[in-house]
Amino acid sequence: MSVAGAAVGVAQAALDEAVAHAKTREGFGVSLARLGSVPEHLASCWTDIEMARSLTYRAAAASARDARANLHLSSMAKVGATEAAARVVDRSVQIMGRFGLVRGGKLERLYREARPMRIYEGSTEVIFDSLAKQLVKEAH
């Protein structure tokens, strides 16, 4: 659960950076936020974050009631939020162009923080394997 929560935070921080940049930077006489595929990147990041946040809150509440019985939900929240964070930081770098790649910059740090989240505390593949086993075992 803690990694899911951290992933939502990292993703939100990355999107905040990307929005602030897209609002102020101009290209071809218009705001970057209205240019080409940038609006779609922004909206899909927002959607990813809200999906991850909703599942994380639901899983956290279920886990507080009975962690063992709701392990599948905390596993899904971990995978869902960390994979969403990976997509969001990547799109945020794309939106910010070279400004997202400045060593020591906020987005560069968020990108590096998001990447190992898909590996530690149970890699995505290992968690999916456990979830699939449970799904098949409990199917009627």
Ligand X SMILES: Cc1cc2nc3c(=O)[nH]c(=O)nc-3n(C[C@H](O)[C@H](O)[C@H](O)COP(=O)(O)OP(=O)(O)OC[C@H]3O[C@@H](n4cnc5c(N)ncnc54)[C@H](O)[C@@H]3O)c2cc1C
Q: Which residues contribute to the site for ligand X (CB under 6 A)?
A: 116, 119-120, 123, 125-126, 129
CB-wise, 16 or 129, nearer to ligand X?
A: 129
Q: How many helices (H) and strands (E) does the chain have?
A: 5, 2
Q: At closest approach, how far in Å is the CB of 7 from ligand X?
A: 13
The residue from 17, 121, 125, 138 that is catalytic is 121
Nearest to 86 by CA among 54, 119, 130, 132: 119
CB-wise, 25 or 72, nearer to ligand X?
A: 72
Does residue 121 carry a catalytic annotation?
A: yes
CB-wise, 25 or 87, nearer to ligand X?
A: 87
* Cα 109 to Cα 136: distance, rounded to the nearest angstrom: 39
Tokens 């886990």 belong to residue? 63
Catalytically annotated residues: 121
